[in-house]
Amino acid sequence: MRFWIGPYRHKLVRSVSFSLWAKGAVAAIDLRSIPQRSVPFSGFGFFVSNDDVVLSSEYTFLGRGSSVIDLMVPAQARLLYESALGLPSTLEVDRLDLILLHTLLHQSDPTGDDRVKPLVPGVDARYEIHLGNERIYRRAFDYTIQAMVNPTIDLLKREYESVYLDVLDGRLSPDLHRRMLHHWVAKYNLPYRTFQSNRVPDETPITPQTSLSETFNQADSTTLGPVLTWAETDGNSITVNNEYRTGSQVLHRVRAEHDLSSSDHYVQADVKFVGGTEVGDIAGGVTARTSTSTVGFYLAHAHWNTDQSIQAYSVVGGVFTLIAENIPITPTANVYEKLRLTCNGSTISGLHKGIQKFSVTDTAIATGVRGGMRHLHSQAEDNTIYIAADNFLATDVLGLMGAVSTITEGAGGGSVTVGAATTTTAGQTNRSARYVLVSLGVINDGDPPTPGPNLLRIPPWVVRELAQEAAFEESDNDLYSAIVGTLPAVDSAPLVYD
């Protein structure tokens, strides 16, 4: 692989601005400030090309290797990198993965005005950097390392204040800021006042909600429902035969007018294309971290035409920036296929028919607590050619740390509190991945492990993540399969929070 830094390409489609990767790039991380995202050819991104592909002279070559992990960047290339991004101080690291980390954390800008916004940990309180579909860096959030965590805390304080003001103005639901605060206290294991600046009052956290769903089971109507209230920001969507359908216009975008409790959430829907042969672009998708005041959200689109693929975008101020491109899929016409978009800290990932298709890092949108859908059809539709959707679901990803109240360790064992229930596991002297799974009742310890009583309390993707960690910690490649084998066959059970 070859690694580069350089500008995004700009393209205008139907009066919509797109920021696209360098020609020949196969993966990228956006390192631009928020204003730079709105100005064509302004700011820079980090790009990856295959080893046999050389990008144009606009791009600065940083090095080549099988991965960014442990790849050393020459001093001259580091100077060019620092200058291009306008970093406030000299980089003190020379490994490419650590250079990206310092750019996204130590030398980030919590306001996003001058440099890229900082990384935000996922629900397991770990910083991660993903490139393409590979995790290239992971480290636990450690409040004692101020240079690392201060940009994140500053960002969260700003996010809290923004949500608080939106609640006061009636744009968001009452007490949303306090529900969000509860999530952060559980996630970071810090006092709630850590996230409140001196510009907001001292208000305590309250227990969050978890999920919103829509069946579209109602009489044929031009008003979506019946479970949720919907805002139709583009197009003329309808319900017919107990399902959502696009109307006669090209673009349809709808937003569920209900707030989740956190910007860590996923949105999913069953989506299908119905009709004959179509010329042009056909795409059905879901949106997450959707703004109520500006055109801002994350988007995962499934394309059904000759370009059968998944693409994902971050949308800031109406400008669509590509974050995942042309991941192949094999869609089936006239058949519902589940599409899920997850925002977990700065990790944005997508599943199609239960299979993860991308996992990338993007820091542009740290807030937003609503979900929706966006569908594109290049030709006017009628009642025989349309995009349909059903079983819409938006759920807070409270995850492992969101369900754990306390973890107490001791020489002869430890205890984990989940909600009001406390379980004790003897003989475990560290906070290993297996220990956490067993203590939560997700699995019963053994060889092989068996399903525990609280298996469905934790999202399956969290169980898989911990299973991977357990297999690594114990150097047991079979352990991952054994733990994952305890999961239900269908990944559909909602998270229960109490």
pLDDT band at 485 (very low <50, low <70, confident <90, very high): confident
CA nearest neighbour of 358 among 3, 1, 95, 29: 29
Spatial CB neighbours of 376, under 8 Å, sequence gap ≥ 6: 250, 251, 252, 281, 282, 283, 284, 285, 301
14 within 8 A of 2, measured Cβ to Cβ: no
Average pLDDT score over the chain: 83
What does the pLDDT look like over 143-164, one tens digit per residue? 888 888 999 999 999 999 999 9
Alpha-carbon gap, residue 268 to 263, rounded angstroms = 15
Which residue's entry shows tokens 């001196």? Answer: 198
Q: Give the distance, in angstroms, between the CA of residue 174 and the centroid of all CA atoms in the same chain.
A: 25
Task: Dig out the tokens for 315 from the structure.
Answer: 């949308």
Collapsed DSSP state (helix, strand, coil) of residue 34: helix
Alpha-carbon gap, residue 354 to 489, rounded angstroms = 11
Q: Whole-angstrom distance between the N-terminal and C-terminal Cα of the chain? A: 46
248 within 8 A of 385, measured Cβ to Cβ: no
Task: Dig out the tokens for 472 from the structure.
Answer: 């690594």
Dump the DSSP string for 274-304: ESS---S-EEEEEEEEE-SSSS-EEEEEEE-
Is domain 122-397 given the CATH code 2.60.120.560 in the classification?
Answer: yes
Say which residue, 490 or 103, is predicted with more confidence.
103
Predicted pLDDT of residue 459: 58
Collapsed DSSP state (helix, strand, coil) of residue 496: coil
399 within 8 A of 266, measured Cβ to Cβ: no
* pLDDT for 204 beyond 90: yes
* pLDDT for 195 beyond 90: yes
pLDDT band at 208 (very low <50, low <70, confident <90, very high): confident
Spatial CB neighbours of 256, under 8 Å, sequence gap ≥ 6: 212, 214, 228, 229, 230, 370, 371, 372, 392, 394
Measured from the Cβ of residue 300, the count of other Cβ atoms closer than 10 Å reads: 31
Dump the DSSP string for 304-350: -SSS-EEEEEEEETTEEEEEEEEEE----TTS-EEEEEEEETTEEEE
Cα distances (angstroms) measured from residue 238 to each of 244, 247, 302? 6, 6, 20
pLDDT band at 461 (very low <50, low <70, confident <90, very high): low
- Between strands 16-20 and 319-328, the pairing is parallel
What does the pLDDT look like over 90-117, one tens digit per residue? 998 999 999 999 999 999 999 999 999 9
From start to end of 367-462, where are the E strands? 370-377, 386-396, 404-410, 413-418, 421-426, 443-444, 450-451
Alpha-carbon gap, residue 82 to 29, rounded angstroms = 16
436 within 8 A of 462, measured Cβ to Cβ: no
Which residue's entry shows tokens 């393209």? Answer: 11
Cα distances (angstroms) measured from residue 443 to each of 123, 323, 452, 473, 496? 20, 35, 4, 17, 17
* pLDDT for 428 beyond 60: no
- Between strands 421-426 and 297-303, the pairing is unpaired
Task: Dig out the tokens for 473 from the structure.
Answer: 């910690």
What does the pLDDT look like over 5-37, one tens digit per residue? 999 999 887 778 899 999 999 999 999 999 998
> What is the mean predicted confidence (pLDDT) over 382-394?
82
CA nearest neighbour of 312 among 365, 265, 354, 357: 357
Alpha-carbon gap, residue 431 to 128, rounded angstroms = 19
Predicted pLDDT of residue 456: 61
* pLDDT for 497 beyond 90: no
Task: Dig out the tokens for 113 from the structure.
Answer: 């005005």
* pLDDT for 422 beyond 50: no
* pLDDT for 272 beyond 60: yes
Alpha-carbon gap, residue 365 to 344, rounded angstroms = 11
Q: Where are the domains of the chain?
A: 2-117, 122-397, 400-484
CA nearest neighbour of 331 among 360, 359, 301, 358: 301
* pLDDT for 180 beyond 60: yes
State the angle between helix axes of 477-484 and 460-473 in degrees (0 to 180), rounded to the nearest 10.
160
236 residue type, one letter: N
CA nearest neighbour of 295 among 193, 219, 372: 372
Dump the DSSP string for 194-219: GG--TTS----------EEEE---SS
The conformation of residue 457, written as its DSSP 8-state character, comes to: G
> What is the mean predicted confidence (pLDDT) over 222-236?
90
> What is the mean predicted confidence (pLDDT) over 423-443?
61
Alpha-carbon gap, residue 423 to 133, rounded angstroms = 36
Helix (H) or strand (E) holding 19: strand 16-20
Q: Give the distance, in angstroms, between the CA of residue 135 and the centroid of all CA atoms in the same chain.
A: 14
Among the residue ranges 195-209, 311-325, 424-438, the one predicted with the least confidence is 424-438
Bridge partner list, 254: 232, 373
Alpha-carbon gap, residue 287 to 251, rounded angstroms = 14
Spatial CB neighbours of 467, under 8 Å, sequence gap ≥ 6: 433, 437, 479, 480, 483, 484
Predicted pLDDT of residue 417: 43
